[in-house]
Amino acid sequence: MKITALPLVLTLGLATAALAHEGVSDPQVKSRMMVMEEIRINMGAIGGMAKGKLPFDAKKAETAKTKLLKASAKVQPAFKPAAQDPASEAAPAIWSDWDGFSAKAVAMDVALEALDTSSLETLKAGLGAIGQSCGGCHKVYRIKK
Ligand code: HEC
């Protein structure tokens, strides 16, 4: 058990270390990155099931959806203060166009609300819209470093 679990632990560790939030000192920037990290983790659970990498489990999918909705609700309060950090990928347009940014956050809420976690088919069907809501915001308001 310990031996088979090890490669997974290593992989997850490496994936986490590559994220920008590792080097961040500003607490506000760190906390908004952690909101995104929470979103990434739970999207991973749902995406893994949809791609067949994880066994489909309606209960786990529903739990992930609930956590995603909670994290999504934190996006606007977490990004509202225009905090800066050299490691941040946040674009200045977030604060010069707060309404536009907020609309992207609402779009993610709507896509998440619409996700039907009751079967693998409905999960797969709802995932595309959620993925688009991530990309729709990142394209405009996140600067890839
Ligand atoms: C309303 C806009 C918006 C939406 C919607 C959004 N993001 Fe983000 N995301 C951002 C911004 C802005 C950053 C950069 C934050 C920073 O570096 O200060 C970011 C950063 C991230 C990061 C990097 C976090 C880190 O540790 O540096 C991940 C991972 C991420 N987003 C995943 C997602 C996923 C997955 C979704 C969709 C389910 C999503 N995001 C939806 C705006 C958004």
- Ligand 1, residues 33, 36, 85, 110: which to mutate, most atoms within 8 A of Cβ? 36
Q: Does the annotation list 83 as a binding residue?
A: no
Q: pLDDT by residue (tens digit) across 62-75?
A: 999 999 999 999 99
How far does residue 95's CA lie from ligand 1's centre (Å)? 15
Confirm if 46 and 123 have CB atoms less than 8 A apart. yes
User: Cα 131 vs. chain centroid, distance in angstroms?
Assistant: 9
Cα–Cα distance, 30 to 21 (Å, whole number): 6
Identify the CA nearest to 101 among candidates 79, 68, 81: 79
**Domain ranges across the chain:** 25-76+89-141
How far does residue 136's CA lie from ligand 1's centre (Å)? 11
pTM greater than 0.85: yes
Confirm if 48 and 41 have CB atoms less than 8 A apart. no
Q: Kindly state if the Cβ of 104 falls inside 6 Å of ligand 1.
A: yes
Q: pLDDT by residue (tens digit) across 14-48?
A: 444 456 677 898 999 999 999 999 999 999 999 99
Q: Does the annotation list 53 as a binding residue?
A: no
Q: pLDDT by residue (tens digit) across 58-104?
A: 999 999 999 999 999 999 999 999 999 999 999 999 999 999 999 99
How far does residue 4's CA lie from ligand 1's centre (Å)? 32
CATH of domain 25-76+89-141: 1.20.120.10
